[in-house]
Structure 1
Amino acid sequence: MRKRRAAAGVFIVGLATVVTPTEAAWADEPVLHRVTYTVTADQPTDVGVYYRDVDPPSWADYSHNPYLYSPKAEVPLGPGTPWVLDVMLADPDRWAMVAVSQNRPQEERTLHCQLTVDGIVVDTADGSHGALCSLRSW
């Protein structure tokens, strides 16, 4: 009887060991937040839009090469023609950012950016030549 109980105990401990790492791996997964970048213009114009679509591994990695983590899109904007991008970030307070600037700054246009996290507008900005939306002071 003791051998059966001991064997059953070893089986249960072994089963717990098999289940626990899987549960721990799920617990280590970061919670991702839906970040929506929206850029508009009051008149037709071509713009460059820098945005962050991934969380850099560390501040050191980001500061070593910020353009690696900040792609640029060249897009035409105009009334009724916004640029909208949804991304998933683990730490939007630190990394969410969209910046827009005119390709021809001599043109007077009003550019607007909006930053939304999990459906809540957290920052907006307007500018005649560019605009920056971010939760962090860059």
Structure 2
Amino acid sequence: MIFGRSARIALPALVAATVVTAGGVLSVSAPAVAQDPPPPVLHNVKYSVFSEQPFYVDIYYRDVDPPNWAAYSHNPYQFSPKVEAQVGPDQQWNLDVQLADPDRWAMVAATSGAGEARPNVHCVLAVDGVVVATHQGPKGALCSIRNW
């Protein structure tokens, strides 16, 4: 087969263009793999509850960060365990938990419940060793950084 001069020039150019195109397709890098975000920094949260008279109190506290406000508001008790504890002037209830966002979620509340007794309940909330909230009341107390 005999090609004309223009065909002889065009054919190598076509082959070269095809090789460059194929090489470009082959050399395309794979998309970057999405990296997981770093884990949240956890803060040590310490809850303390005591009273001026020996008494059994109900204590609600937050020991995990809810995933978002909607999940919390749908069922706050899922994220706020309750314990009954005997407290007094020399008998504190203490609990250390780890929270990523204590400004938003750290909370402890204690109540003496129905009845006439007024044991004067106190609570203390510390984050990373610094007391950030205290409260006391004749029948109960709420300690939180956030206004509830």
Q: What is the TM-score normalised by the length of structure 1?
A: 0.81
In the TM superposition, what is the alpha-carbon distance from 1:104 to its structure 2 partner?
A: 4.3
Verify the 8 A CA contact 2:62 2:80 in the aligned structure 1: yes
Rounded to whole Å, the distance in 2 between the matches of 1:56 and 1:125 is: 24
The aligned counterpart of 1:78 is 88
- Secondary structure of the residue aligned to 1:61 is helix
Decide which structure has greater helix share.
1
Distance change >3 Å, CA 103–CA 64, structure 1 → 2 = same
Identify the match of residue 58 of structure 2 among 48, 67, 86: 48
The aligned counterpart of 2:137 is 127
In the TM superposition, what is the alpha-carbon distance from 1:106 to its structure 2 partner?
A: 1.0
Unaligned runs of at least 5 residues, structure 1: 1-12
Identity of aligned residues (%): 54
The aligned counterpart of 2:19 is none
The aligned counterpart of 1:117 is 127
Does residue 107 in structure 1 map to residue 117 in structure 2? Answer: yes
- Secondary structure of the residue aligned to 1:28 is coil
The aligned counterpart of 2:103 is 93
- Secondary structure of the residue aligned to 1:50 is strand
- Secondary structure of the residue aligned to 1:55 is coil
Larger radius of gyration, structure 1 or 2? 2
Write the deviation string for residues 6-52 of structure 1: whole angstroms up to 9, x where unpaired: xxxxxxx9xxx8xx97xx54x52000000000001111101000000
The count of aligned residue pairs is 120
RMSD: 1.8
| Runs of 4+, deviation exceeding 3 Å | none
Amino acid aligned to 1:34: N
Unaligned runs of at least 5 residues, structure 2: 1-28
Rounded to whole Å, the distance in 2 between the matches of 1:45 and 1:83 is: 12
Write the deviation string for residues 94-135 of structure 1: whole angstroms up to 9, x where unpaired: 000000000344102111000000000000000000100000
- Secondary structure of the residue aligned to 1:112 is strand
Q: What is the TM-score normalised by the length of structure 2?
A: 0.75
In the TM superposition, what is the alpha-carbon distance from 1:67 to its structure 2 partner?
A: 0.1
- Secondary structure of the residue aligned to 1:47 is strand
Verify the 8 A CA contact 1:56 1:62 in the aligned structure 2: yes
